[in-house]
Amino acid sequence: GYMPSLACFTESSPGRKEYRFILANPSHIADSEDEALAQAASDFSEARRVDDAMGSAEELSRQLSARGYVSVKNFKVILDDA
């Protein structure tokens, strides 16, 4: 199965991403990568909508946590250029 996941990164120089942290939702296991991606996009969009409405910088984090997202420790990003 696949877990919905979100990556936060900074662009240190054009085209060079440095990942700061990864969030994953182990409470929702999807049957396909596309389903997991769609779920993560939907969760992020809804959390942003609530965050924007509340006007609180911490609300996005609370919203994602409430949806089951947790921080992934010692993560490795594998880029698929195929």
Query: Looking at per-residue confidence, does 53 or 39 come out higher?
Result: 39
Q: What are phi and psi of 55, to 5 degrees?
A: 70, 25
Residues of the chain with pLDDT > 70: what percent? 96
pTM of the predicted structure, to 2 decimals: 0.81
- Strand pairing class (70-71; 16-24): antiparallel
pLDDT at position 79 is 73
- pLDDT, average across residues 49-66: 87
CA nearest 60: which of 17, 6, 20? Answer: 6
pLDDT at position 17 is 85
Q: Is the pLDDT of residue 78 over 70?
A: yes
Q: Is the pLDDT of residue 47 over 80?
A: yes
